[in-house]
Structure 1
Amino acid sequence: MDILDRFVTLWVVIDPIGTIPVFIAVTAAMTATQRRNAAFMASIVSACILLFFLVLGQILIDALGISLLSFQVAGGIILFLFALTMIFGEAKSETDLHATDTAEKQGDKPLPAIFPLAVPSLASPGAMLAIVMLTDNNEVAILDQAITAAIMGSVLAVACVFMLLADPIIRLIGHSGAAIISRVMGMILASVAADAVLTSIVEIARTGAL
């Protein structure tokens, strides 16, 4: 998978644009300094979580005796279902804010930079699976894994910039524009996920490996 493919995959699953409405909603009552700190903290926490899966994700899979090809098929299916929620489901802002409201009703008030900004908005389940699939220790060299980590970092850096510029961006494209862009990204992710599943199935059929 070349650099562009990796960038597109990580861009879609992290979805920096879709995070903008979430950021605006959960930081509405904050001061400018608090909003800026929340953007930086959310980016750093999500980067740490995804780096954990990049470094240790496959080790955990190997320890459980799961074939990476099987994991790629399962991961591709889950990514495809995740893409369907982006296309047909509620906008990210609606689902994440509902989760925040539920937590607050239960008396649990997590720091907004951690939830829902870092998880599940930036470090989503789809992003965790994607980062493992992109860093196969048996096929991907350490240099390529480092490049994937750098690409991930660049996408999160863009997400951080978007959060810092959330107000003018949302005024420019509107909530409807953000929803449209999120659904287009869902279509792209569905294509990437289908390709991952088909490629893995063909490899399993060719090698007989499981």
Structure 2
Amino acid sequence: MRYLVTIVGWSSMQTLNDILKFSITLLSILNPIGVIPVFLGFLRTKKNLNISKVSNVTALATGTTILISLFCGQTILGFFGISISSFTIGGGILLFTIAFSMISAHQSDSKINSEELEGVDFEREIGIIPLAIPLLSGPGAISTCIIQAKSFTSTYHWVGAVIVVVLIAIAIRYMLFFSQDIGRNLGQIGINVMTRIMGLLLLATSIEMVASGIKEMLPILKASVSVLNI
């Protein structure tokens, strides 16, 4: 009985650690603080923009994109014949480039470039494009969700992940809604410091992802070499 309790307790701690790692990684790659200057630029350009409506749409679109990536990402990869290990390496490299841009306090072109920003229609779908996609839930966030979902082995993992996504979506909603106050209090220097801290966390995560993908591929590579030698 005591042995069973020990196993259950260890499993719960492992699940909690997995969810905590997922939430920190996801929050770092989404980097809602880093989106505030872009959003404030939209507000300066469009004086009559409905902040509440845009905030709601952005949070909903971001949360929906992340959940779809979590639940359907591996199925999509399987359909195209892409292994999780190779996708993990590719996603890690992508996160590395984004993290490097964050540490430099620059907007990564892998999320959105200047031409896309100039082509934004402020009257329609601004909450979805470019705020939710690709500024928040861009390629890096989608890759992270697909890769992290591989380690979700129980119902508790999935329930915890959904709760994390909902809480982050709510946080994004209120951060955008109060973006003017946040931007005024933090200033550009404060926003850059927060972005760099998240970039450091993301950089460490990206290196772990690449290392994990390589370790998973090594047995496959060894098996392939053995077959060729035969």
Pick the TM interval, shorter chain: 0.7 to 0.9
Written as runs of structure 1 = structure 2, the 5 A alignment for 1:107-118 is 110-118=124-132
- Quote the Cα distance in structure 2 between the aligned partners of 1:115 and 1:43: 12
Which residue among 198, 212, 216 is the counterpart of 1:185? 198
Which consecutive residues of structure 1, in runs of 5 or more, have no partner in the other structure?
Answer: none
- Is structure 2 residue 20 aligned with structure 1 residue 4? yes
- Greater CA radius of gyration, 1 or 2? 2
Q: What do residues 152-208 of structure 1 show as CA deviations (whole Å, max 9, x unaligned)?
A: 221221111111111111111102211221122111101011011112322333575
In the other structure, the counterpart of 2:148 is 134
Is residue 26–residue 141 contact of structure 2 (8 Å, CA) maintained in 1?
Answer: yes
Is residue 95–residue 206 contact of structure 2 (8 Å, CA) maintained in 1?
Answer: yes
Which consecutive residues of structure 2, in runs of 5 or more, have no partner in the other structure?
Answer: 1-16, 225-230
Which residue among 70, 75, 80 is the counterpart of 1:59? 75
Which residue among 148, 151, 166 is the counterpart of 2:161? 148
In the other structure, the counterpart of 1:173 is 186
- Quote the Cα distance in structure 1 between the aligned partners of 2:96 and 2:123: 31
RMSD between superposed Cα atoms in Å: 2.6
- Is structure 2 residue 85 aligned with structure 1 residue 69? yes
In the other structure, the counterpart of 1:200 is 213
Report how many residues are paired: 204
Q: Give TM-score scaled by structure 1 length.
A: 0.85
Q: How far off its partner does 1:38 sit? A: 0.5
Is residue 53–residue 131 contact of structure 1 (8 Å, CA) maintained in 2?
Answer: yes
In the other structure, the counterpart of 1:21 is 37
In the other structure, the counterpart of 2:55 is 39
Cα distance change on mapping 1:190 and 1:69 into 2, 3 Å? same
Identity of aligned residues (%): 25
Cα distance change on mapping 1:174 and 1:12 into 2, 3 Å? same
- Quote the Cα distance in structure 1 between the aligned partners of 2:113 and 2:88: 31
